[in-house]
């Protein structure tokens, strides 16, 4: 049997080097394939801009009660102020508040609450889910049973009870939303991490003598992110809708700082008397926000799901 080393050395392998293409660039190209998703993204970005720039672009500061004029209450869209003659493009509500400004500011609050609560819930759920998957045992059982209990109650019920106990305020509503949402992330991360953990690259990383913390943070976590990004995007929309519901029920934010839900609630009683605009326009803004986020989330799911990858 001749030894392999006796043979002529093989020529070095030359494979055409492909242009270095990072996963992010590939991801962006995949995302841009759907026009609808791009439209959703554009809409979402515009809404975010409006929310951020609300104090600059709003005709009126809806929080400054001194600027409100009761004489201007319930004016239809396009009507001019009786005192300053400024136009109210989307009409006014029963306090004489400019609806357009109210919507801009309401959007700001709704998006801020949605994003902040999602970020907090994501951080908590991620940590608990990863720990549950990696360490297993009693920690896994504890976290997952907690999540099961949490998810077996309707979200709105838990949020209502919490707010009834905690009281009103933007921080309280964020706490309520985080409590309702963390379990989704914990579950998603855990199931993704359990799958990834079995893969050989984790074994290989252990074979390299990397520390446990490093393996979890650098190798396990990044590979669990795709499903999490999808869930997080959808959950922002859920959080906004839930916040709007709570505010509509009067348990969310104080009436002086109305979010979209509260604006809708304000116009609710005038809906049947023909003064549709007080509820309609904030409702439309809420709808557009949620649709935009969902369009983006749908495409994210398609792009990030390996089973749907073409």
- Tell me the window of 77-85, 163-171, 212-220, 230-238 that interacts with other proteins (CB under 8 A): 212-220
Q: Which of 206, 217, 255, 268 binds other proteins (CB under 8 A)?
A: 206
- Residue 24 has which token pair? 């992010």
Residue 165 engages other proteins in binding (rule: CB under 8 A): no
* Terminal-to-terminal C-alpha distance of the chain: 47
C-alpha–C-alpha distance, residues 99 and 81, integer Å = 13
- Does residue 5 bind other proteins (CB under 8 A)? yes
Among residues 48, 112, 205, 291, which is the contact residue for other proteins, using CB under 8 A?
A: 205
Nearer Cβ to other proteins, position 86 or 212?
212
Pick the stretch among 99-107, 125-133, 213-221, 268-276 that binds other proteins (CB under 8 A): 213-221
Residue entry with tokens 């795709």:
226
Judged by CB under 8 A, does residue 223 bind other proteins?
yes
Identified binder of other proteins from the candidate list 14, 70, 165, 272, rule CB under 8 A: 14
What is residue 232's three-state secondary structure? helix
Q: Is 1 in the site for other proteins (CB under 8 A)?
A: yes
Q: Contacts by 242-245 with C-beta closer than 8 Å and gap 24+?
A: 242/155, 242/156, 242/159, 242/177, 242/180, 243/110, 243/113, 243/114, 243/117, 243/173, 243/177, 244/110, 244/286, 245/156
Min. distance of Cβ 184 from other proteins in angstroms? Answer: 23
Rounded to the nearest angstrom, the gap between the alpha carbon of residue 241 and the centroid of all alpha carbons in its chain is 11
Q: CB-based burial of residue 294 (10 Å sphere; 0-12 exposed, 13-18 middle, 19+ buried)?
A: middle
Binding residue (CB under 8 A) for other proteins from 12, 66, 70, 213: 12
Which residues of the chain form contacts with other proteins (CB under 8 A)? 1-5, 7, 9-10, 12-15, 17-18, 20-23, 199-201, 203-211, 214, 218-219, 222-223
């Amino acid at each position: 049997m001749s030894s392999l080393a006796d043979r002529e050395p093989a020529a070095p392998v030359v494979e055409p080097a492909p242009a270095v293409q990072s996963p992010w660039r590939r991801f962006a190209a995949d995302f841009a394939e759907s026009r609808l998703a791009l439209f959703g993204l554009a809409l979402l970005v515009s809404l975010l801009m409006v929310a951020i720039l609300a104090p600059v672009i709003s005709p009126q500061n809806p929080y400054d009660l001194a600027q409100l004029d009761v004489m201007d209450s319930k004016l239809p869209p396009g009507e001019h102020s009786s005192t300053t003659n400024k136009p109210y493009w989307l009409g006014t509500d029963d306090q004489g508040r400019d609806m357009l400004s109210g919507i801009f500011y309401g959007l700001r609050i709704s998006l801020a609450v949605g994003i902040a609560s999602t970020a907090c819930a994501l951080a908590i759920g991620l940590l608990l889910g990863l720990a549950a998957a990696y360490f297993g045992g009693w920690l896994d059982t504890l976290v997952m049973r907690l999540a099961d209990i949490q998810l077996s109650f309707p979200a709105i019920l838990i949020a209502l009870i919490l707010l009834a106990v905690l009281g009103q305020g933007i921080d309280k509503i964020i706490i309520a939303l985080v409590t309702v949402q963390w379990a989704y992330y914990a579950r998603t991360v855990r199931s993704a991490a359990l799958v990834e953990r079995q893969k050989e690259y984790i074994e290989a990383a252990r074979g390299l003598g990397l520390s446990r913390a490093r393996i979890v943070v650098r190798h396990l976590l990044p590979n669990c992110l795709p499903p999490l990004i999808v869930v997080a995007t959808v959950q922002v929309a859920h959080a906004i809708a839930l916040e709007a519901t709570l505010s509509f029920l009067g348990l969310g934010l104080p009436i002086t700082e109305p979010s979209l839900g509260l604006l809708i609630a304000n116009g609710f009683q005038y809906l049947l008397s023909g003064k549709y605009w007080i509820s309609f326009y904030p409702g439309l803004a809420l709808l557009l926000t949620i649709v935009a986020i969902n369009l983006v989330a749908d495409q994210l799911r398609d792009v990030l799901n390996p089973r749907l990858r073409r």
